[in-house]
Amino acid sequence: MVSEVKNHLVNNIIPFWKNLRDDEYGGYYGYLSYDLELDKKAEKGCILNSRILWFFSSAYSCLKDRSLLDEAKHAYEFMTKYCLDRENGGIFWSMNYDGTVLDSTKHTYNQAFAIYALSAYYEASGDEQALDYARSLFEVIEEKCKDNTGYLEASDRNFNKISNDKLSENGVMADRTMNTLLHVLEAYTELYRVGRDEKVKKVLEEILVIFANKIYNPKLHRQEVFFDNNYISLIDLHSYGHDIETSWLIDRAVEVIDDFKGTLGKKITPITNDLAREIYNNAFDGRSLPYECEKGVVNEKRVWWVQAETVVGFLNAYGKSRNKEYLNAAQNCLRFIFEYVVDSRSGSEWFGEVDKNGHPIEKIPIVEPWKCPYHNGRMCLEILKRMNENA
């Protein structure tokens, strides 16, 4: 598993994203169609840029290839020159191809990914300015994107609340989402890991309690997804991909704050065990994971990021339990990815979606503001780390 994954990372994913570097306007090109037509003037999403910055920084920290640090620096310079709002604080939603502001929305989800990326870049480069930027965005979230009961979603450039259309789906408009909270947790985990700020640790602990008390549904063995302002679930929806992703990201947070054996760990670990077990028992088909189940109806498409998180989630469950069912599930899903999700066409990377039989769903772009080397690149890096540790 390890050698095949490392080869795929080094010889497929990394070169593909290097080739999307924009040396004229900065950052990375934001759109490659299903037919592999590159649009050099497409929107450059700040989430896309953050995730690319995270990827190249983390890949450098793992592989120690100096060219990866150069790519990370290129993404960092684009973020800090264009994406950050110097006047009002925070990071914009998206830029035009030339770095001018396209969408000035300030979304909590987007602030979180910038923190995640900047933390990784600080670890890779040792650049203290990157850590300062990450800490300042942490303060932005805590001061402007939060109320007495949790995290808010979308704001305008001056941090006035607006409709959360960017993180709402399935016909509902959510005041709060599991997804935003999850990625704030993810970002703060990395910020605390590299910076060791006690304030960040305290907030991390508070977020874990919100997950346990507000997001996790013990009767249905899942997380709820979309909420009103009072954490009332708006829809009967089981997001399979988010649950398996959450199962390991929450464990990572508990690990980083060193509380697996403490009160918080004892409260949280049974929840992450339950999330992984429920996905294994009732959603995983033995080789891949459907997207979600709404009102009892399963959406059978196999989305690229869901498969990547399935591999990591099951490896994490195996690492905790040593139950080889989970290891076999991770290996089977990885085989499905390499056989069906990886696009073997020259100049491509992973298909965005395939059907349950592995046939690619056409017209889904290979690169767009949400399609990036974050989930699949991270899968590779996590496999290298976890399997080498268990060798």
Task: State the angle between helix axes of 240-256 and 178-195 in degrees (0 to 180), rounded to the nearest 10.
Answer: 30
Q: In whole angstroms, give the CA distance from residue 15 to residue 190.
A: 26
pLDDT tens-digit series, residues 106-144? 999 999 999 999 999 999 999 999 999 999 999 999 999
Q: In whole angstroms, give the CA distance from residue 58 to residue 382.
A: 10
* Count of C-beta atoms within a 10 Å radius of residue 202: 11
Helices (H), the chain: 2-8, 14-18, 46-63, 66-78, 108-125, 128-144, 178-195, 198-210, 240-256, 263-282, 304-321, 324-336, 374-389
- Is residue 93 within 8 A of residue 46, CB to CB? The reply is yes
Q: In whole angstroms, give the CA distance from residue 284 to residue 171.
A: 26
pLDDT of residue 390 exceeding 80: no
What share of the chain has pLDDT > 70, as a percent? 99
Q: What are phi and psi of 156, to 5 degrees?
A: -80, -175
Q: In whole angstroms, give the CA distance from residue 322 to residue 329.
A: 13
User: Which DSSP category does 99 fall into?
Assistant: S
Q: Which domain holds residue 255?
A: 2-389
pLDDT tens-digit series, residues 220-263? 999 999 999 999 999 999 999 999 999 999 999 999 998 777 88
Cα 164–Cα 221–Cα 298 angle in degrees, nearest 5? 65
> How many domains does one find in the chain?
1
- Is residue 113 within 8 A of residue 50, CB to CB? The reply is yes
pLDDT tens-digit series, residues 136-162? 999 999 999 999 999 999 999 999 999
Residues near 128 by Cβ (< 8 Å), separated by ≥ 6? Answer: 122
CA-closest candidate to residue 210, choices 271, 262, 160: 271
Q: In whole angstroms, give the CA distance from residue 12 to residue 358.
A: 20
Mean pLDDT of all residues in 185-191: 98
Whether the pTM exceeds 0.95: the reply is: yes
- Is residue 312 within 8 A of residue 379, CB to CB? The reply is yes
pLDDT of residue 57 exceeding 90: yes
pLDDT of residue 384 exceeding 80: yes
Residues near 173 by Cβ (< 8 Å), separated by ≥ 6? Answer: 163, 164, 165
Mean pLDDT of all residues in 197-222: 97
- Is residue 251 within 8 A of residue 316, CB to CB? The reply is yes
Give the CATH number, domain containing residue 68.
Answer: 1.50.10.10
pLDDT score for 261: 79
Cα 216–Cα 221–Cα 225 angle in degrees, nearest 5? 45
pLDDT tens-digit series, residues 316-344? 999 999 999 999 999 999 999 999 999 99
Retrieve residue 142's tokens: 């805590």
pLDDT score for 55: 98
pLDDT score for 1: 80
What share of the chain has pLDDT > 90, as a percent? 96
* Rounded-to-5 percentages of helix, strand, coil across the chain: 55, 15, 35
pLDDT score for 391: 46
Q: List C-alpha distances in Å: 10 to 6, 304, 340.
A: 6, 19, 19
Q: In whole angstroms, give the CA distance from residue 274 to residue 215.
A: 14
